[in-house]
Chains A and B, each alone.
Chain A
């Protein structure tokens, strides 16, 4: 394992966050400072509201404005994912349209609803029509003390169920290492649509995680993400028992493919100096 060579290879991080206004500029700088030393050149950012809280439409819009501001401040590195609370119906759809028009490249959902809930259907339908990814906060929590804090968190079975209804939607199961039984949630997606992906983010650095996801889902369905655990997650992929080509798919090619679905290109060139 050559760490230096691995760090120099360009990477797209599909799971990042920046702060709401007025701190989004500083937050963007901090994020890029964490990714620069490890070769991240493009960051897909959102600002979700956690805890299952049904925040107001204005608060949600303020979150997205913070992301748009960060992208405007560092357009060479940052792209946005629009966070919405699907239960707001037409207002949620309007917010997605507003953010896409402003340059965002996807949707972020948190734990206000299970992914298959009918309240989420219009969002998933729009995502399918626009060919944009839906990054959903997810994990299979095993302890009641953790599950009680977010009873509607989605896991692998929920992705499988949602993808049966919307097979053309590009789903991203967030953070394989975000807490919870990652073997369970990955296995539960064995029969999901091939448009269901998983990202590598999260503070759990259990050995074998990446290879397990590749074995169960295929290397084309694993995306690099950090969610704040930048060095740890880079190390997971670099240390995985995969070929260089497979690591390139995780660090770059699969995210590039997702962008291409909506006609977008990566912000920088890949490890071979080729721009999309």
Chain B
């Protein structure tokens, strides 16, 4: 079984994506042997008031409730974001929260982010902070072209150690601040397979004992899911660890 914690629906303003509707994404996942995927609407990244997009997502994926796991997009710079979080959790039954500090323009280790992390932790909701959505070297002039500072995410986790934080789309796993800070090694944080290479990156993290922080994610439909599947196929880990990475960690993160 494979659960993809890094999938998306909707429109990216700077490049045409394919397989970005519920029907098409479900077919793509079928062709890849991926049973479930956590999704949120891409366009919500750019919305000021994100809640309508969250509500629409849940409505859109209702016919695919066995395939898609809804994640909330939260904009903590918007008034009464706490109400959105409550509604996403209690009314929409969403399983996690995606934050985009590089687009929503707030420091990920500041007081506001800490408030969000605490609020999510109180609800046992995991937080997902994509390191980037698109390669900054191809950025459109309207895109700020920033990645999220992993050292700042490490500071956030140190300030709110009860939080669960996943950073999709990171390269350089073994050298990243979360792994380098030994005080955080037993905390609940995860990295996905989408963009990191196995050789001299994922395998180094595994060799150093970090497999408990790995989870399957592909970044489909931005990226080819086949790339993450190849990495999963060649990982030198035992069967139990591979199953952890393929779906058990995702189940634990998402409370499934």
Chains A and B are bound partners: yes
CB within 8 Å of B: which residues of A? 1, 3-4, 6-7, 30, 33-34, 37-38, 139, 141-143, 145-146, 179-183, 203-209, 228-236, 238-240
Contact at A207–B140, with CB atoms within 8 Å? no
A146 near B198 (CB under 8 angstroms)?
Answer: no
Whether B137 and A206, one on each chain, are in contact in the complex, defined by CB atoms closer than 8 angstroms, is no
Does B137 contact A235, Cβ atoms closer than 8 Å?
no
**Is B17 interfacial (CB-CB < 8 Å)?**
yes
Contact assessment for B230 and A7 in the assembled complex, using a CB-CB cutoff below 8 Å: yes
CB-based contact A34/B222 at 8 Å: no
Contact at B229–A34, with CB atoms within 8 Å?
no
**Nearest-Cβ distance from residue B140 to partner chain A, whole angstroms:** 7
**Nearest CB to that of B231 among chain A residues?**
A231
Is B135 an interface position by the 8 A CB rule?
A: yes
Q: Contact at B199–A7, with CB atoms within 8 Å?
A: no
CB of B96 to closest CB in A, whole Å: 23
Q: Which residues of B contact A (CB under 8 A)?
A: 15, 17-19, 31-33, 134-141, 145, 171, 194-195, 197-200, 219-231, 233-234
**Smallest Cβ-Cβ distance to A233: which chain B residue:** B227
Known: A205-B195, A239-B225. A38 touches B230 (CB 8 A): yes
Q: Is the CB of A142 within 8 A of B138?
A: yes
Whether the pair B226, A235 counts as a contact (CB closer than 8 A) is yes
B227's partner among A7, A146, A228, A231 (CB-CB below 8 A) is: A231
Q: Which residue of chain A lies nearest to B138 when distances are taken between CB atoms in the complex?
A: A181
Contact A238 B230 (CB under 8 A): yes
Find chain B residues with CB under 8 A from A145 CB. 145
Known contacts A203-B171, A232-B230; can you find 4 more A-B pairs with CB under 8 A? A37-B198, A179-B138, A231-B231, A234-B230
Distance from B11 Cβ to chain A, minimum over Cβ atoms (Å) = 14
Are A232 and B227 within 8 A (Cβ)?
yes
| Interface pair A142/B141, CB less than 8 Å apart | yes
Within the complex, the shortest CB–CB distance from B53 to chain A, in Å, comes to 22
Contacts of B221 in A (CB 8 A): 207
- Say how far A26's CB is from chain B's closest CB, in angstroms: 12
Asked whether, in the complex, the Cβ of B195 is within 8 Å of the Cβ of A4, the reply is: no
Shortest A173–chain B CB gap in Å is: 15
Contacting pair A182 B138 (CB below 8 A): yes
Smallest CB gap from B18: residue in A: A208
Most central of B19, B136, B219, B227 by chain A CB within 10 Å? B227
Complex: A34 Cα to B234 Cα, angstroms: 10
List the A residue with the shortest CB-CB distance to B224: A239
Residue on B nearest A209 in the bound complex, by CB? B224
Residues in chain B near residue A3, CB distance under 8 A: 226, 229-230, 233
**A4, A37, A142, A179: the one within 8 Å of B140 (CB):** A142
Contacts A179-B135, A180-B137, A181-B138 given; indicate if A7 touches B195 (C-beta within 8 A). no
Contacts of B219 in A (CB 8 A): 205
Q: Which residues of chain B are near A181, meaning CB under 8 Å? A: 138
- Given A1-B32, A207-B222, A228-B197 in contact, is the A239-B137 Cβ separation under 8 Å? no
Minimal beta-carbon separation of A228 from chain B (angstroms)? 7
- Residues of B near A236 (CB, < 8 A) are 224, 226-227
CA A232 – CA B218 in complex, angstroms?
A: 11
By a CB distance below 8 angstroms, the chain B residues around A235 are 224-231
A183 and B145 CA atoms in complex are apart in Å by 18
Question: Could you name 14 residue pairs across A and B whose Cβ atoms are closer than 8 Å?
Answer: A7-B233, A142-B141, A179-B137, A183-B15, A204-B137, A205-B223, A206-B15, A207-B222, A209-B224, A230-B197, A231-B227, A232-B227, A235-B225, A235-B227
Given known contacts A38-B230, A236-B226, A180 and B18 CB-to-CB distance under 8 angstroms: no
Do B18 and A203 have beta carbons less than 8 Å apart? no
Q: Which 7 A-B pairs have the closest CB atoms?
A: A239-B226, A235-B227, A179-B137, A34-B199, A235-B226, A235-B230, A37-B234
Nearest-neighbor residue (CB-CB) of A177 within chain B: B135
Cα A209 to Cα B18 with chains together (Å): 12
Chain A residue numbers with a CB within 8 Å of B140 are: 142
Closest to B169 in A: A205
Q: Which residues of A contact B33 (CB under 8 A)?
A: 1
Q: Tell me whether B198 and A231 are in contact (CB under 8 A).
A: yes
Q: Are B197 and A229 in contact (CB under 8 A)?
A: yes
Residues of B within 8 A of A240 (CB): 224, 226
Report yes or no: B227 in contact with A143, Cβ–Cβ below 8 A.
no
A239 CB contacts on chain B under 8 angstroms: 32, 224-227, 229
Bound state CA distance, A207 and B19, in angstroms? Answer: 10
Asked if residues B233 and A204 are in contact (CB atoms below 8 Å), the reply is no
The complex places the Cα of A37 from the Cα of B135 at a distance, in Å, of 26
Q: How far is the CB of B24 from chain A (nearest CB, A)?
A: 12
In the complex, the chain B residue whose C-beta lies closest to that of A2 is: B33
Most buried by B among A7, A142, A205: A205
When distances are taken between beta carbons in the complex, the residues of chain B under 8 Å from A182 are 138
- In the bound complex, residues from chain A placing their C-beta under 8 Å from that of B226 are 1, 3, 235-236, 238-240
The reply to whether B224 and A207 form a contact with Cβ atoms under 8 Å apart is: yes
A212 to chain B, nearest CB (A): 10
